């Protein structure tokens, strides 16, 4: 039986695709800022820094929009993983990604109106959206306006720690983005999850009566 649910409102889909487009611009221009002098294949430093700064400003504004609408709509609750039973849920989902997906096994946790994300998504999205994204936005802002950076931080001039933090966090966010794109292909079909983020509707085939996510929660409620 196929279930169809409207899970992704227009504001969330708009933020998602704008965020993705800006990240691609930031990755391309960020690489150019490091290697523009070594190859004619890269953008010039002057062009790259203007484009990078512009995309960074738009990313920050887009992130503020995302936070505000998450609070207004209550969608932020989807990112908070239940503590009880977290270890076993993460194990089930990790086992699926490492082993089960290549054996054609069913997803251990299906998307629902109550729980949009699987356990690994909840943990990773929470860290990315409410920890790493603020760091990259704040550090980028301080690099654009170095007069706002602290004069000394960790024994170094305030700009240098911000630069290192910005590069390291940006690197991990880039890795996450490409991993996110790959894992998005593990829907009922190769493109079904991408389609959901255009239409707002999530569809999946139900192969069993109970979802382990709620089974795990119920077990811990009765202990």
Q: What is d(CA 205, CA 203) in angstroms, rounded to the nearest whole number?
A: 7
For position 58, what pLDDT does the model report? 98
| Ordered domains of the chain (ranges, CATH) | 2-221 (1.20.950.20)
Q: How many Cβ atoms are within 10 Å of 194's Cβ, its own excluded? A: 13
Residue 202: strand pairing partners: 5
Whether 165 contacts 135, CB under 8 Å: yes
* Site of tokens 């400003």: 57
Q: Which single residue is written with the structure tokens 């239940």?
A: 82
Give me the pLDDT at residue 161, please: 86
With beta carbons less than 8 A apart as the criterion, state whether 59 and 22 touch. yes
In degrees and rounded to multiples of 5, residue 175 shows phi and psi of: -60, -45
Please give the chain's pLDDT, 223 residues, in tens.
678 899 999 999 999 999 999 999 999 999 888 876 655 556 788 888 999 999 999 999 999 999 999 999 999 999 998 888 889 999 999 999 888 888 888 888 888 888 899 999 999 999 999 999 999 999 999 999 888 777 766 666 768 888 899 999 999 999 999 999 998 998 888 899 999 999 999 987 665 544 444 455 444 444 4
For 6-72, give the secondary structure using H, E and C: ECCCHHHHHHHHHHHHHHHHHHHHHHHHHHCCCCCCCCCHHHHHHHHHHHHHHHHHHHHHHHHHHHH
| Prediction pTM value | 0.83
- Asked if 158 and 151 count as a contact pair (C-beta separation under 8 A), the reply is yes
């Amino acid at each position: 039986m196929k279930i169809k649910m409207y899970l992704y409102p227009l504001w969330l889909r708009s933020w998602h695709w704008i965020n993705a487009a800006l990240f691609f611009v930031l990755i391309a221009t960020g690489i150019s800022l490091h290697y523009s002098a070594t190859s004619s294949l890269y953008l010039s430093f002057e062009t790259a820094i203007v484009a990078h700064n512009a995309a960074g400003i738009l990313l920050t504004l887009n992130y503020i929009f995302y936070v505000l609408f998450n609070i207004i709509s209550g969608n932020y609750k989807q990112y908070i993983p239940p503590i009880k039973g977290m270890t076993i849920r993460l194990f089930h989902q990790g086992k699926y990604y490492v082993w089960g997906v290549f054996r054609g096994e069913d997803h251990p946790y299906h998307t629902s109106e109550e729980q949009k994300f699987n356990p690994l998504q909840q943990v990773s999205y929470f860290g990315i959206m409410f920890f790493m994204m603020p760091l990259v936005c704040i550090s980028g802002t301080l690099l654009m306006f170095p007069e706002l950076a602290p004069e000394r931080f960790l024994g170094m001039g305030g700009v240098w720690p911000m630069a290192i933090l910005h590069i390291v966090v940006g690197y991990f966010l880039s890795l996450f983005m490409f991993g996110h794109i790959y894992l998005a292909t593990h829907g009922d079909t190769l493109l079904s999850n991408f389609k959901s983020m255009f239409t707002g509707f999530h569809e999946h085939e139900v192969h069993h009566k109970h979802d382990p996510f709620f089974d795990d929660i119920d077990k811990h409620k009765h202990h």
